[in-house]
Amino acid sequence: SYELTQPPSVSVSPGQTASITCSGDQLGEKYVSWYQQKPGQSPVVVIYEDNKRPSGIPERFSGSNSGNTATLTISGTQAVDEADYYCQAWDFNTGVFGGGTKLTVL
């Protein structure tokens, strides 16, 4: 079965840039979405179709996808961005999530 691999944790200082990677075989040939989940809340999509940002999501969130790696980038990271982040793609008709990355802003 298809797998997506994320680092378990990423730390960033306020105001700096955070990058969270998601790796999978030929991932660049698939559309990748990114979800933010804060404790006790449902996930929220922050990037879809590799690099599109839904309305209401701050411009500091951006995405890219090429080769075997997709990347979520948060520029000027704020304390409010501290959360778990999950990448997601489709393998044929099956949804696949990465294991999640805990972003710590300190």
Per CB under 8 A, 45 contacts another protein: yes
Q: Which CB, 15 or 54, lies closer to another protein?
A: 54
Q: Which of 22, 24, 70, 86 binds another protein (CB under 8 A)?
A: 86
Per CB under 8 A, 57 contacts another protein: no
In the complex, the smallest distance separating the C-beta of residue 67 from another protein, rounded to whole angstroms, is 19
Q: Which of 70, 81, 98, 105 binds another protein (CB under 8 A)?
A: 98
| Sign of the dihedral defined by the CA atoms of residues 90, 85, 72, 70, in that order | negative
Residues that bind another protein (CB under 8 A): 1, 31, 33, 35, 37, 42-45, 48-49, 54, 86, 88-90, 93-100
